[in-house]
């Protein structure tokens, strides 16, 4: 199936999206188009230009993210670059967004995607640090799951030598998150003990690698038993199962922990807080407990809100503890923080001290598969999306996808509690 | 007035306290008296031994702390030392305790006092690091405002060369608090901005000195206008008045602050939280707002509890902020932390980088004056108590004290809101 055919298929089912709207998404604030961009092809060619995009067309299950073909060449405005995307990262926040639980994003239709890696194909006026041909990765709150992306140059970072596009796309969100959690919020020190949930996931893998850089850290990580050997080899000192983590940790470390990293939300935050030693630090940075299946589960949400961690000043004083909240999506404006953290991470990558672990690679057509893999916690490491069509597999994929969508509809409301 | 006469006077008004009870206070857990202590004087001499003690006899105003004379020589048990106390520090927590608001202490009668400095006069079995004649300072939750103190050797620290007893008594609580607040909880980094309330107080002075050790720190400090010049000279970058601190800080630092240290409680905690930049850190470590006068003010307490800061996980996540609670009284068991922090502070003292600022020195008879001075925020630096009788001033003091006690009774219920 050609790009044009794919487009026609999508347009049957949903309203056509305006390319101008989409190209604006990653950089809403820059409203002045530049007249002298690097993309200097004749107007007719620009109009004929098409690119593939994964668009959230409504809140719900895996089928709400549709492959669409956009038309018309995006032209970088002042301060922007155009990236030919080679690989994208999938994050838990994308699953949250698909269910309509990420209040920070505009309503659908909207192109999803918080990170990508690719090659700069054009630069807008005033861009000095990037040039055509540069390999870069980019982060933003959404809009990066596209074959071609426009984004502010300040949201891009030059890829280090020797890194693949897949690895580069796996890099920014997970490693920035892990770095900020450990070193800017929890202030990890030598010989401390840390608990991270979903230790086999993207953030969990990055946390594990970064903990290894600090002397004598004891890392507890929850994951399903089938992943324990893999995460132990990765560097988790004590792989434990989610179902019994409080008891397991108390047995091994009766005095409690120095740091708890909680992406789960709900009652786990309180349990993590209770596991802390005096002067211990909890960082709450997600609510994966709300994602029990492909679609919004109102019961799980209600349970999570009912059990939401809450603390008052006096109780906090008497505990001598620290609670931190972290949400990368609300930090995008803090450019200095990003520059500093990515700079340090790239240095660590170049020194061979950290290396993204890619779990699996899926073409855009397989985005449902990719999301399901993450939703069902089957991944060990990062799930990657490729914009480029998988021509050999195309017909097979389409058939498979249709079958899956039917299955999804049947499964949508089933809560899945295992393997947090 | 001799010690015996003072004793007789006290005993008129209140129940006689058993010396055995008092001597046990600082070391409740050691129940085995040692038979071979250094205090080897004959039994008759031991019984005749007396020492002065500031005893909280009930909750209320300044008159509830009474000077009493205890009889019988305290004998250090295993692991304990006996200290001949030369100077004691007064802390906000002592005022809180007097009003019955410090739930961690046993009920009256109880000897108050969280810190003292003096000379080791006897050591119990098994004490290796301290010997008779050592100059030491000690910290504990209570029980140290006495001429002679028994305490576990692990709660004592050797005084550095050249420090006076007054300075040494001013050292432990304020500097440990300031160090823990800044470096263990708020994780102060170069070029950050800090707000500390009651900047002219003991903790405020210590915070100011420690902030000067970190490059490029901007320190905002609230104090009444009359103290601004003094705290500016001490190192506060921006002395500001409590009444307008939110506006004043917003004018100078529109993006907000990196760190807020809040000893006030109530609505100030939320205001401090709101003043933080993303990734900023608030430490709540007291509720001075509850102390509006000598006696418990139910209205102020109700207002404080009504306005108590409370935060939920999701709001914390979306703010990307950190909230910490600190209470030294709940950290006394963390010996490693104490050793580390006091070790670092003593090193800084020896290097001339920190120096306790003594506001005023009061004999035990003047404890009411001392507490009033702190309550009314008249002090700049530390208020010190001396166990030794002030013989020259004795008769004058007594007359003054009686007049004050009458005044207190009249003033007891007046809230005083100024100069937090």
- A271, A246 contact by CB (below 8 A): yes
pLDDT bucket at B292, cuts 50 / 70 / 90: confident
pLDDT digits (tens, 9 = 90+) for A68-106: 999 999 999 999 999 999 999 999 999 999 999 888 889
Does one domain contain both B135 and B240?
no
Least confident span in A181-185, B190-194, B308-312, B403-407: B403-407
- B138, B149 contact by CB (below 8 A): yes
Q: How far apart are CA B358 and CA B361, in angstroms?
A: 8
Q: How far apart are CA B307 and CA A99, in angstroms?
A: 36
Q: What is the pLDDT of residue B47?
A: 79
Contact B310 A309 (CB under 8 A): no
Contact B278 A334 (CB under 8 A): yes
What is the mean pLDDT of the segment spanning B19-28? Answer: 37
Q: What is the pLDDT of residue B304?
A: 86
**A135: three-class secondary structure by DSSP:** strand
* Structural domain includes residue A1: no
* Distance from the B286 Cα atom to the nearest Cα atom in chain A, whole angstroms: 8
Least confident span in A291-300, B123-132, B173-182, B403-412: B403-412
pLDDT bucket at A305, cuts 50 / 70 / 90: confident
* Structural domain includes residue B40: no
* Structural domain includes residue A401: no
CATH value at residue B156: 3.90.180.10
Q: How far apart are CA B80 and CA B379, in angstroms?
A: 34
Contact A308 B314 (CB under 8 A): yes
* Distance from the A89 Cα atom to the nearest Cα atom in chain B, whole angstroms: 22
- What is the share, in percent, of chain B residues with pLDDT greater than 70? 83
Which chain B residue is nearest to residue A268, measuring alpha carbons? B313
Least confident span in A286-295, A380-389, B172-181: A286-295
Element (H, E) at B360: strand B358-363
Which chain B residue is nearest to residue A325, measuring alpha carbons? B317
- The answer, for A126 touching chain B at a CB cutoff of 8 Å, is no
The answer, yes or no, to whether residue A125 has pLDDT greater than 60, is yes
Angle at CA B320, nearest 5°, toward B284 and A129?
135
pLDDT bucket at A360, cuts 50 / 70 / 90: very high
What is the mean pLDDT of the segment spanning A362-370? Answer: 96
* Distance from the B265 Cα atom to the nearest Cα atom in chain A, whole angstroms: 8
Do β-strands A65-71 and A50-56 pair in parallel, antiparallel, or remain unpaired? antiparallel
The answer, yes or no, to whether residue A17 has pLDDT greater than 60, is no
Q: What is the pLDDT of residue A119?
A: 98
Does one domain contain both A225 and A307?
yes
Does one domain contain both A130 and A54?
yes
- B276, B250 contact by CB (below 8 A): no
Does one domain contain both B138 and B251?
no
* Structural domain includes residue B391: no
Query: Closest by alpha carbon to B262, among B335, B185, B338?
Result: B185
Contact A325 B318 (CB under 8 A): yes
- The answer, for B106 touching chain A at a CB cutoff of 8 Å, is no
Q: Tokens standing for B20?
A: 């055995």
Name A293's bridge partners. Answer: none
Q: What is the pLDDT of residue A80?
A: 97
What is the mean pLDDT of the segment spanning B285-295? Answer: 89
CA B200 remoteness from chain centre: 14
Residue with tokens 């909280």: B56
Number of domains in chain B: 2
- The answer, for B325 touching chain A at a CB cutoff of 8 Å, is yes
Q: What is the pLDDT of residue A334?
A: 87
Does one domain contain both B341 and B382?
no
- What is the share, in percent, of chain A residues with pLDDT greater than 90? 71
Which chain A residue is nearest to residue B306, measuring alpha carbons? A312
Chain A environment of B319 (Cβ under 8 Å): 325, 330
Name A151's bridge partners. Answer: A81
Q: What is the pLDDT of residue B400?
A: 61
Does one domain contain both A217 and A305?
yes
* Structural domain includes residue A380: yes
Give buried/exposed letters for B133-158 (b at 16+ CB in 10 A, else e).
Answer: ebbbbbbbbbbbbbbbbbbbbbbbbe
Q: In what order do the strands lie in the sheet with A65-71?
A: A65-71, A50-56, A110-111
- The answer, for A313 touching chain B at a CB cutoff of 8 Å, is yes
Q: Tokens standing for A79?
A: 């301060």
* Structural domain includes residue B135: yes
Query: Closest by alpha carbon to A280, among A203, A207, A188, A206?
Result: A188
Contact A325 B310 (CB under 8 A): no
Question: Which residues span the domain enclosing B166?
Answer: 50-171+356-386
Does one domain contain both A142 and A257?
no
Q: How far apart are CA B94 and CA B114, in angstroms?
A: 8
* Structural domain includes residue B405: no
- The answer, for A336 touching chain B at a CB cutoff of 8 Å, is no
Q: What is the pLDDT of residue A335?
A: 86
> What are the C-alpha distances in Å from B136 to residues A154, B117, B348?
57, 6, 17
- A87, A146 contact by CB (below 8 A): no
Does one domain contain both B369 and B307?
no
Q: How far apart are CA A264 and CA A360, in angstroms?
A: 23
- The answer, for B47 touching chain A at a CB cutoff of 8 Å, is no
- The answer, for B316 touching chain A at a CB cutoff of 8 Å, is yes
pLDDT bucket at B367, cuts 50 / 70 / 90: very high
Q: How far apart are CA A346 and CA A340, in angstroms?
A: 10
Does one domain contain both A213 and A181?
yes
Q: How far apart are CA A328 and CA A169, in angstroms?
A: 16
Q: In B123-234, where does DSSP find H-type helix?
A: 165-170, 172-179, 202-211, 228-234
Q: What is the pLDDT of residue B104?
A: 81
The answer, yes or no, to whether residue A23 has pLDDT greater than 50, is no
Does one domain contain both B253 and B375?
no
CA B357 remoteness from chain centre: 14
pLDDT bucket at A417, cuts 50 / 70 / 90: very low
Does one domain contain both B283 and B318?
yes
Q: Is the preceding omega at residue B109 within 30 degrees of 0, hence cis?
A: yes
Q: What is the pLDDT of residue A223?
A: 97
pLDDT digits (tens, 9 = 90+) for B96-139: 999 998 888 899 999 999 999 999 999 999 999 999 999 999 99
What is the mean pLDDT of the segment spanning A132-146? Answer: 96
Does one domain contain both A261 and A215?
yes
A374: left (phi over 0), alpha (psi -120 to 50) or beta: alpha
Contact B311 A311 (CB under 8 A): yes
pLDDT bucket at B344, cuts 50 / 70 / 90: very high
The answer, yes or no, to whether residue A419 has pLDDT greater than 50, is no
What is the mean pLDDT of the segment spanning A222-241? Answer: 97
The answer, yes or no, to whether residue A150 has pLDDT greater than 70, is yes
Q: Residues 6 or more apart from B195 whose CB is under 8 A from it? A: B219, B220, B221, B222, B245, B249, B257, B259, B260, B261, B272, B275
Mean pLDDT across chain B, nearest whole number?
A: 86
- B160, B172 contact by CB (below 8 A): no
Contact B330 A318 (CB under 8 A): yes
Other C-beta atoms closer than 10 Å to the C-beta of B406 total 11
CATH value at residue B259: 3.40.50.720
What is the mean pLDDT of the segment spanning B258-268? Answer: 97
Query: Closest by alpha carbon to B296, among B98, B142, B141, B103?
Result: B98
* Structural domain includes residue A21: no
Contact B325 A321 (CB under 8 A): yes
């Amino acid at each position: 199936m050609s790009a044009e055919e794919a487009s026609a298929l999508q347009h049957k089912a949903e309203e056509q999206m305006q390319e101008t709207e989409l190209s604006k998404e990653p950089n809403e604030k820059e409203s002045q188009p530049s007249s002298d961009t690097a993309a200097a092809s004749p107007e007719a060619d620009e109009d004929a230009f098409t690119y593939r995009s994964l668009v959230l067309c409504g809140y719900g299950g895996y089928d709400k993210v549709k492959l669409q073909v956009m038309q018309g060449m995006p032209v970088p405005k002042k301060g922007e670059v155009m990236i030919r995307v080679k690989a994208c990262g999938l994050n838990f926040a994308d699953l949250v967004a698909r269910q309509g639980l990420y209040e920070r994003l505009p309503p659908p239709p909207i192109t999803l995607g918080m990170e990508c890696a690719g090659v700069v194909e054009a630069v807008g006026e005033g861009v000095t640090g990037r040039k055509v041909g540069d390999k870069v990765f980019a982060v933003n709150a959404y809009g990066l799951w596209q074959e071609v992306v426009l984004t502010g140059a300040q949201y891009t970072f030059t890829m280090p030598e020797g890194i693949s596009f897949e690895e580069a796309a796996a890099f920014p969100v997970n490693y920035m998150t892990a770095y900020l959690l450990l070193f800017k919020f929890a202030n990890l020190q030598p010989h401390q003990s840390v608990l991270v949930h979903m230790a086999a996931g993207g953030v969990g893998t990055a946390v594990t690698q970064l903990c290894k850089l600090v002397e004598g850290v004891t890392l507890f990580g929850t994951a399903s038993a089938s992943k324990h050997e893999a995460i132990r080899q990765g560097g988790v000192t004590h792989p434990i199962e989610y179902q019994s983590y409080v008891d397991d940790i108390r047995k091994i470390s009766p005095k409690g922990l120095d740091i708890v990293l909680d992406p789960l939300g709900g009652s786990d935050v309180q349990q993590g807080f209770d596991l802390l030693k005096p002067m211990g630090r909890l960082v709450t940075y997600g609510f994966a407990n709300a994602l029990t299946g492909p679609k919004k589960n109102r019961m799980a949400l209600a349970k999570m809100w009912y059990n939401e961690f809450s603390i008052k000043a006096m109780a906090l004083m008497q505990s001598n503890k620290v609670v931190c909240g972290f949400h990368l999506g609300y930090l995008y404006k803090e450019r200095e923080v990003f520059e500093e953290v990515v700079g340090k991470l790239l240095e660590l990558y170049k020194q061979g001290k950290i290396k993204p672990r890619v779990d699996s690679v899926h073409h855009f057509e397989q985005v449902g598969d990719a999301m399901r893999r993450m939703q069902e916690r089957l991944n060990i490491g990062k799930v990657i999306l490729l914009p480029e069509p998988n021509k050999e597999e195309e017909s097979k994929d389409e058939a498979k996808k249709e079958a899956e969508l039917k299955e999804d509809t049947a499964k949508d409301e089933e809560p899945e509690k295992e393997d947090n």
